[in-house]
Every structure is written in C-alpha cells, then in structure tokens.
Structure 1
Amino acid sequence: MKPPATSHVISLPMDDGAQVEAMFAGDPKAHFDLHWHAEWSVGAILEGRCEFTCAGERQVAEAGDLVLMAPYMLHTAGVSAQGFRMVMLYAPHVWLAARLGWPDAQRGVLRRAVWKDEATAHALADAAMARDASEVGRRLAQIVRAQTGDALVNVERQMGDARVEAVCHALATEDACRIDPATLAQRLGVSREHFHRLFRAAVGMTPAHYARLARIGRAKVLLREGQAAAEVAVQCGFADQAHFSRWFRRCFGVTPGNYMGVRECGGEGPREELGGLSA
C-alpha cells in the first residue's frame, strides 16, 4: 500500500489521564516551517530521508533513525522526494518528568538529536499504529532516559534578559496577539529599532516571527481544549480561518479541522489510510 498523501494525528490516552499525540506522515512534499512544540518530540523514520534544523543545527535523519527534540526547541523539517514515512510522537513534559524523576520545570540535557536504532524505531511505530498506549509510554520513557544526561536544565527557553522574557510571555497570551512592535518597545522603555535588535539577539528571530509562532502554539492548546477553529482563529489574531489553517498546517503538518476531528473521535484516525505506515 502506498503512503498516504496527507498526515494524520491520533491521540493515545495514558493510564494517568495524560494524552500522547502521534502524527503519521507519508507526504513526500511535506515541509515544516520554523516552529516549536511544548511537548517532547520523538520520531521514527521508517522510509526516506528527513533534513531539518533544530536549535540552529542542521540534522539529517534516514530510515531506521530515531529523532528526539526537547520542548520549545525551534526546528524546521523537509522530507525526501520519494517514499517518505515517519511516525512522530508528542509527549507532555510533566508526564515524562514524573517517570524519569525530574522536577516539573526541568529536564535532562540531550546527548544527541538523531541516531540509528532500527529495532526501536519500528517497535515504536508498531505500538503507535496498534494504539497500544502502554507500550508507547514505555518506549518513550526508555528512549528519553537513554538520551538525556544527569545534569538538569530549565524546560522553557531562557532569553537571558528579563525584559525580553516578559515580552515573550505577553506575546504568548490571548489578549496580546495584536500588540504592535511600537507598543512592545514602549513597554521596555527603548526605541523600536533598539527593541528589534535586543529581541533578535536574545531570541534569534524578529518579534513578529516570534509572535506568529506563539499564536500558533496557543491555537493548538485551544483546539485541544475543544474550541472551534473559527473561534481560535479570531482569538489568536489571524486574519481569517483560511489564514490560520495555512499557518497551522505549515507548522504541524495537519489542518486544524483534521487535528480537531481526530481528537473528537477519540483518536480513531482513518485506519485504511494509516495502514500504509505500518513497519
């Protein structure tokens, strides 16, 4: 069976009530713009090749490789032109922290982002395809434990400037979606030009780019809470629902409607289409 032309997401309920999401991707035209996830991202490449950047470093993952990214790591992705298949799981940090003995606000330091382990990659994909939440949870904890050291760092990004951190917090809130750069500069007590330089040096992108990513991240949370896509588009400051849908798909690989639909039907994605992704 050929890989599906679109990506699909399912939701896997853990024993303690947490939800782990699994995205099955097989679109050879898939490209993901710069974005982040609040969750741990653990991927298994089953076929083809994925080139991406993570935390500013270029990475390449091929069939049989595992991919691991910590929460809030900025990354992009593009896949090979033929026969691409991947399973990516998104695990809440607090859920993983409880299993690994970490404080809620801290995590272990990653040893590497990509490594070859065909047996584990296929076992993880098989467990996700079978919707075996217990096995998925066991595998995720095992993978993250093996690839993190004893030293702990804060989960959320540290900007190194309390003023910039305050602005980032404001940009991530619902009522700040339409704050313009001049207003943000005024909050910091600096000129607009100085604000842009200060922000870019601390964050690595412009305030406008960061604001869009923060709005997309917030939109995902609101969709997960069950709010309608049209309402979320308005709340998060997008021009219209179509604009919101384009950006959501460019970052997360699925449309808001697909993301909501799978969650509303209890994670039961279209089995006949996902079947082409089995290992």
Structure 2
Amino acid sequence: MSASDSAQAFWRDPAMPFAESRRACESRACYRPHHHPTFSIGAVDGGQSVFTGAEVGPVSLFPGTLVFVPAARVHACNPFPGKAWSYQMLHLDADWLHAVRQEYAGAESAAPEPVRVITDQEAYGRFCRLNALLFSGAERCDKEAALIEFIGDFDTEQGLCVAAPGIPSHLAGQIRPALERLRAVPSSSITLDELARLAAMSRYQMIRAFRAVTGMTPHAWQLNLRINLARARLRDGQAISAVAQHLGFADQAHFQRVFKAHVGVTPGRYR
C-alpha cells in the first residue's frame, strides 16, 4: 500500500458475501488468541511476526510468508515486541470453500485440517495479485474466478504443517452441552457452576476439558463468539451501540476494547 493509503483497509462486496479481505500497514495491534468461523489466508508483507497456536510453540513469520488457517482453529499472529508489521488477511466462508473444494476434489478427508505455513514466492505473489484484484474495481466474475483458481492451485501446497491438537472424544462429548448452552445464549453471562453441571464435572475439570477441546477458557470462547457475531451485525449495517447491547457487553466502551483486541481495529473502523 502507498503512504497515502489508510493503515487499515477492508474490502467487502455484497455480491460476494463469502469473502472479506483486509490490508494493514505498519500495524502494532496485538490480537488475543481467537478463532474465526471462516477459513483464513494471511500474508506477511513486511516486518516480523509470531504465529501462536501450535503445540510445538510459537512459529516466526517473515515477509513473503503465507499462512492458511482452517475455521475454528485458535491462533494469534502478532508483531515482534515493540515492532510493527504489514500484512494481508483474506477470510472465506467455510461452507462456500467446502463447496468449491467438493467441485474439484470430490472425497474429503476426515482428519482435521492443519494450519499450513508456506514460504514460496510464487504463492505469495499470486496471493498479492489476487488481493489487489479484490480491492480493485474489476468485475465480480473476474474476482470470483481468480479466487477459485488460487484456492485450487494452492490448496495442497506443502509447507510447515501445524496439526490440530488431539482432542479426546470423551472430553468433546462431555463439554458439548456446555458449548451448546453458550451458543444458544451468547449474550448471557453463564456461570461456571452452570457449565460444570451441564458437563457433569467439577468446575476445575470443566475448565481443563473446555481448554483441551476448544483451546480457550469458557469466558474467552464466549467473548470470541460474541465478536464473530458482532462482525456479522456490523457488516449488515447495525448501529454499534445496538450491537454492544444486544450481545451483552457492559457498555459501548467495553465492546470497543474487546472488539479491538480480537479484530485489531475499533468497531467503527471495521463498520
């Protein structure tokens, strides 16, 4: 981006509701561990950053690196302490991506999809050209064609694979009622006592099981859910104050702080 461009720029098109893209220049914003309902592709343009969300520990990212993050995978990418970095981030609707993959790949693997970290200049250059096209005034059909072609060409590109942590099936089954409760009433403050009763565990056991299955504590998971819902409501044009109230934040200032910690910009800038 040129010096005259805003530090943060977003692209969305009502004709392509399955995609959203962002460009950030010289950003020092730091993100909490979070996850998206979307499949995300990130590109590091400048500076150095650290990917967290791997069992082996933090992974350093350098300019020219692409990171493919499956939906619902807890992660965070932040600049080195005291430094700034520039990046691009493309979010794709998980159902749309699944349908595209089915068209050309057919059968799907039952194994959880890993995070992939790719340091290939051709792939990075293709992604930059794709994102520039999305931000341009090109026709929708050209944008969608380029997007589908990029996915097909690089969907199996090998790089550093960060496997999803193994989740004991019995733990996933035990905390499912607690997860369903949080999803059903995202704006409500559900106590640890109630979640523990739903999981038939002590509070300590439930917290440990919840973190093992989701990568987050119950409160952090619920905040993340609220922010994902808030993004959708803001894209639909709802007022910030109404979104904050509807999703159970104490006030608009609280909503602003939590939103920026997850998204890197204020709700107003995002909207």
TM-score for the superposition, normalised by structure 1: 0.76
Q: Which residue of 1 aligns with 2:177?
A: 166
Q: Which residue of 2 aligns with 1:268?
A: none
Q: Which residue of 2 aligns with 1:222?
A: 233
Q: Report SS of the residue matched to 2:87.
A: strand
Aligned letter for 1:253?
A: G
Q: Which residue of 1 aligns with 2:87?
A: 86
* Distance in structure 1 (CA, Å) of the matches to 2:91 and 2:268: 19
Q: Which residue of 2 aligns with 1:65?
A: 65
* Distance in structure 2 (CA, Å) of the matches to 1:106 and 1:237: 38
Q: 1:117 aligns with which of 115, 120, 128?
A: 120
Q: Report SS of the residue matched to 1:119.
A: helix
2:138 is the alignment partner of 1:127:
no
Aligned letter for 2:10?
A: V
Q: Which string of whole-angstrom CA distances, capped at 9 and with x for unpartnered residues, describes residues 151-209 of structure 1?
A: xx9xxx97843231221122133455311112222333444344334433443432222
| Superposition map of 1:172-251 within 5 A | 172-174=183-185, 177-251=188-262
* Distance in structure 2 (CA, Å) of the matches to 1:5 and 1:41: 22
* Distance in structure 2 (CA, Å) of the matches to 1:54 and 1:197: 17
Q: Which string of whole-angstrom CA distances, capped at 9 and with x for unpartnered residues, describes residues 203-252 of structure 1?
A: 34322222222222222233234332212212222111121122112111
Greater RCO structure (CA 8 Å; 6+ sep): 1
Which segment drifts farther, 24-33 or 52-61? 52-61
How much is the aligned-residue C-alpha RMSD, in angstroms? 3.2
Q: Report SS of the residue matched to 2:32.
A: strand
CA contact (8 A) 1:158 1:165 kept: no
Aligned letter for 1:247?
A: V
* Distance in structure 1 (CA, Å) of the matches to 2:125 and 2:112: 25
Which segment drifts farther, 233-242 or 99-108? 99-108
Structure 2: 5+ residue stretches without partners: none
Which segment drifts farther, 135-144 or 41-50? 135-144
- Judging by fraction of residues, say which structure has more strand: 1
Q: Which residue of 2 aligns with 1:9?
A: 10
CA contact (8 A) 1:51 1:77 kept: yes
* Distance in structure 1 (CA, Å) of the matches to 2:225 and 2:66: 27
- The number of residue pairs the alignment matches comes to 251
CA contact (8 A) 1:159 1:165 kept: no
Distance 1:182 1:106, change over 3 A: farther
Distance 1:175 1:91, change over 3 A: closer
Distance 1:51 1:169, change over 3 A: same
Aligned letter for 1:22?
A: S
Q: Which residue of 2 aligns with 1:96?
A: 97
* Distance in structure 2 (CA, Å) of the matches to 1:105 and 1:143: 16
Q: Which residue of 2 aligns with 1:21?
A: 20
Structure 1: 5+ residue stretches without partners: 261-279
